Structure 1
Amino acid sequence: MIRIFAVCNGTLLEKLGTGVSPTYTRIHFLLKELAEYTDVTIDAVSYDISPGGGIPRRVADNVRKTLAALRSAYRIRRDRPWVYFAYPHSMTTVQNRLLFSFCSFIGARTILDLHDTLEQTGAVGDGKEQLSRRFEAHSLKSASMIVALNQPMWDHVSRIYGLNGTPVVIAPNAFEDIFMHLYPEPYRAVNGRCNVCYIGALTRNRGIDLLVEACTALHAANPDIMLHLYGPYGPGLGQELRDRIEHSDCIVRRELPRESIPATLKSMDLLVMPYNPEEPYLNLSSPTKLYEYIGTTIPILCTKCESLMEIGSNGGIVYVDYSTEAFVAAIEDLLKNPGKREDLSQRLFAVRENHTWREQAARVRRGLLEYQSGRDGERSEEEPGSTIR
């Protein structure tokens, strides 16, 4: 039996809600799929968060978080489960950092689900670190098991912090079942429609400037080409580029609630993942959006980030250099050749079941069972990347 106590607001396990981040998405669906197994139980403490702002609200929320942490500590000590922390999300409150230290003190086994590291702040954030590098090192070295998004990311982190020998399970992000229902068949090209789409925050190093340049140039020659940007503005995207996006006759930018995105993509012809591979963090990232792209089977254009190259190894993703010229050439070629787009979709359709949350939960469960049984974590050829390394 695998008993897991999740250090997060238990309401997140019950319902994902609207307008949520990729972090919440991963926590919700990964733990939800784990709970589907008859030999896995998931527990957490739920508490309310006050609406609005102001000092009284913050005080009330901190009281609730403290009470939740005390209840969590009691259950952890009583039940001795695996204790799940999403890093860095779970560590952004002092109450949860103390819970992590409490787990180390009593010898409770901890799972650190490594979503991001402090490098993200420098790559796409505002430069303000919520945690110290010392605490990040402490968390990684103290965890009983780490769940990492991909092998290149783990190799990089383990090299920086000297984590050789730490048990790790590789479990990338994924897409939820709604994509299977909305996209039961491979993509079919529609004559005269040329919609290019990017989902996610519009920040520096995400290739937004290159995408705008490329689609603007292509639109001048083919007015059917439109660029759809679904996401908010973020750090590092200059006002000049923002104004250009908002006043362009070939760019549509909207912010959508997360639950609307799967259906909205049905009118798209090319989904783009334009991250800058020269930025170390982005070169090793595992963005949820790419897996949701796969869930639609709509053709994908992606830059040559190391962590993403293997995903399209069956030829289902077109990889390009990080340059405006490369984007123009690739987008033009794909939009002019509907047969090529449909072939890409067939290849994605053939492998998309490997990228569901169900598959990632299976990997984590197998890793936990191996740890509990004392196996040495040898990987079999039939289950690559699914067990302890």
Structure 2
Amino acid sequence: MTQSGAPGRGRRARAIVGPIQHLTPIRLSPAQQTYLRRRRRADAVLAGLGLAVSALPMLVISAGVMATMGRPVLFTQERVTQDGRIFRLRKFRSMRAVAPDGSDDDAARLVPFGRLLRETSLDELPSLFNVLRGDMSLVGPRPLTTDYIGRFSAEQFARHTVPAGLTGYSQVHGRNSLAWDDRLTMDQEYVRRIGSDLDLRILIDTVIAVLRRDGVTDEGGVSMADFPGPQSTTDLELHGPEDDGTWVCRDREERIVLEGTAALLEPGLVELTIRLGPGAEGAADTLLDEALLLLASRLRVVHEAEWACLAPGEEPAPELAASLARNGYAAPGAAVRHPTADLPPTTVPDGTPALIAFLGLPEEGFARPLQPVRDSEERTS
């Protein structure tokens, strides 16, 4: 990608520009809240017993990790749990830091001993410490990394209404082989149905799934595919981009909310035109934000886009301009930072883009943790 300069060169960046997090309040029923409090005590007891029983196996695994991969023995990573709280997940390492050929490809870095740990889920044993600490539960939606913050639709973020889990509803129905939309739909279903009967069924099914070693990775991969963002939401459906570049986002009454074109200028860079449709009249800001989130998700899938820019001369309507700003679009040269060390392109064949946004995963140090919800009656979804 041609990069002719950094935004705001010579000026201090005022903020990191990235996608907003899509949140709406949700409430668990009183019975569900009571169950979660009781379950927390059971989690602590069972995690403590699990750590005691697995102490010797973990010692043996630690020696195996050191012999095959060296130090450190544990892999730690920031993950998201209930209400968007960030914690550090602990697992046994299964990959070398760098492959023997010097590449950072996951398949080349994964060692046979690490593959065995993954297939048997023994790499998860140190996560019992996280359960004991209250970071997560034995059962719940799998904790995802913080670099996905901003990619969830409002209904998908409902998975964070309850604590993350070592195993979960989607884990026993396909694990990492599931498509992302299916996986997150199952997480939402779990939140709606959470209770002792469902959790017990999941724990039993987990034993069966581990013994079968099904769904450990996505098809052809060594782990799970990156989450591109939602491909549809409860309120909206996006069609395109078609072969001629046109796309349209409609609500469930078939009214057009946004429409326009998308043209791939060079690998990783897409030029957009965006117009409001009749369905946007009087619509809430969240609907426009959701439509732009769908568009970004689709561009990641169709064009593997890292950057998206508005065509030179585009002048979006005020409500659309506000939504674009909330979703990370900024004028080239503005005193802002995109969540990447790469410099945004400042010119395109037709001139200077009107606005530009980074669509890729935020790089290390750029992911923005969520603010915890302080009111226990208002939970993020």
Q: Same fold by TM (over 0.5)?
A: no
TM-score grouping bracket, smaller chain normalisation: under 0.3
TM-score of the pair, normalised by structure 2: 0.28
Q: RCO (CA 8 Å, sep 6+): is it higher in 1 or 2?
A: 2
Higher helix share: 1
